[in-house]
Every structure is written in C-alpha cells, then in structure tokens.
Amino acid sequence: MNIGLLLTLDLPGAEDDERKEFNGLLNKNGILKMPGLTTCYTKTFESITWDTAKQEVDKIIKTAKKGSGVSEVHYAFSLSENKIHVSKNIEDILNSKLK
C-alpha cells in the first residue's frame, strides 16, 4: 500500500547551517520541503505498512537531528492513503520539480 506523509516541524534555536543540513538529510531520505510553506514536508512511501511508515518517519527525523547538530526538534505528522491536497501554486511548483 502507498502511504502519504504530511509532516510539520520546528527547529527551535537551530542555526541556519544546522537547518540547512537537517533539511538536506530529510531530502536525502525522500522527505521534501513543500515550496511556499516554511515548515511543511511531504513524502510518499510505497509498499509499506502503517507501523513501518511511522517508524521510518521517526527514524529519519532522529537521524537528521543527530547528523545536523540540531539540539531540538518539535514535529507532528499524519499518514494517509489519500492524496495530499495543496494549493494550486504549490502544486505547480511540485509538478515542475518532479519532471
């Protein structure tokens, strides 16, 4: 089953270089920042169970925290079989980056 992730997070007290590294590590793991939304990320997991997807999100965030030197991460996420609805502007940007 394919499962979509919608993630929001804050990195309180993080320096700009730590934020950049953190975002790069998320990106390396397929969690992409949504253009125009400063704290929102998305990913589609393919052929995965709900429990495994949840564990994978937690693991990726912990790895990015450790690898970037960020001291604190606050996050919440939702997993869904439904397509994530985004505004037209963001959808155009996402579609152009996927081509």
> What sign does the dihedral 15-40-21-93 (CA atoms) show?
negative
| Dist. CA 50–CA 48, nearest whole Å | 7
Residue 78's domain comprises 3-98
Give the CATH number of the domain where residue 87 resides. 3.30.70.240
Amino acid at 6: L
- The Cα–Cα gap between 55 and 57 comes to 6
Residue with tokens 């169970």: 49
pTM: 0.82
Q: What's the domain count of the chain? A: 1
Span 56-93, pLDDT tens digits: 999 999 999 999 999 999 999 999 987 776 666 656 65
Model confidence at 38, pLDDT cuts 50, 70, 90, reads confident
CA distance 60 to 31: 9
